[in-house]
Amino acid sequence: MGKSKNQKFQRFLKVFFTIILVLTIISYGAAYILLNAISVDGGAEGYPTPQNRVNVLVIGVAKGLADTIMLCSLNPDTNQMSVYSIPRDTYFQRKGKGGASNKINSTYGSGGADSVVKSVEKLTGVPVHYYVEVDYEAVRAIVDSLGGLPVEVPQDMDYDDPLDDLHIHFKKGQVVKNGEDIIKLLRYRKNNKGGGYKEGDLGRIKMQQHVVKLGIKRILNWNIVGNFVRLQGPVRKYVKTNMTPAQMMVFAMKAKRVNKENIDIQTVPGTTKTMEGLSFFVVNTKEMNKLLKDVIEDK
């Protein structure tokens, strides 16, 4: 009788672990298919190979321009992540160009993500190993897939751009949550009748950083499978990267080990300056080199 029970238990274990194995294979296969769908042809061919620290450039694209540029650096040994915002109006001199063409965000139009990567590498001296290109529609879809992201509006916002079909009308203290409203917060710069963030575009960057922190906290608090199920739709449709599926899975697991307290988000130092009749953000190279010292040296 005992032997019969033991045999039944062994059969149960065999069936149980077979099911687990099959589900694991299916999950891995589904994840691989998804990641393969967003990986560009050629992968990271021609890019430096990370030896320790992994540097990824995240590019938020709107209307053919790199509207948001963030350099993310992951140290897998210490499980720390540093994020450096580079203002879209950063002055980046391009040979034979003038005016707005010397804003770093405009380099996207002449060569896509690869061009922005080269510009950021030249500006900062940091080797970029990979990029992730995200359309603003992805932010909308991802926020909604996460069940919303409550953000308090820091000041009255009244801005209309009929040509861009952009209409922003929020009151100070109002809490917005859905993807469409979060996009408006991220894109807001000034009011119709003047005024806006006291720090200009730097104020907008602070809002972007705040939203990124909230999003990271939400994702890290959930399990990988849950995130995969929730985010596969918007990721497949609106995200592109030069990482291979295998690389994405490895780095996702490494990023999962990063605690919220070990994520540092800053803006490269500099000042706003009017040049050629336009407002530019001019980087303080000396201060930027101090800020990025560890990232540059830890190749």
**Domains of the chain listed by start with CATH number:** 39-297 (3.40.630.190)
pLDDT tens column, 46-59: 888 887 888 999 99
In three-state secondary structure terms, 58 is: strand
pLDDT reported for residue 30: 45
Q: How many degrees, rounded to 5, is the angle at CA 216 between CA 215 and CA 222?
A: 95
- Are 144 and 178 in contact by the 8 Å Cβ rule? The answer is yes
Instruction: Please write the tens of the pLDDT for every residue from 30-82.
Output: 445 556 666 777 678 788 888 788 899 999 887 777 888 989 998 888 888 88
| 241 neighbors 114 (Cβ within 8 angstroms) | no
Residue 87 has which token pair?
């203002």
Alpha carbon of 69 to those of 16, 89, 92: distances in Å?
47, 10, 14
| Band (204; pLDDT cuts 50, 70, 90) | confident
Q: What does the pLDDT read at residue 286? A: 95
Please tell me the distance from the alpha carbon of residue 126 to that of residue 111, in angstroms, as a whole number: 20
- pLDDT over 90 (residue 291): yes
Q: Contact, 141 vs 232, CB < 8 A? A: no
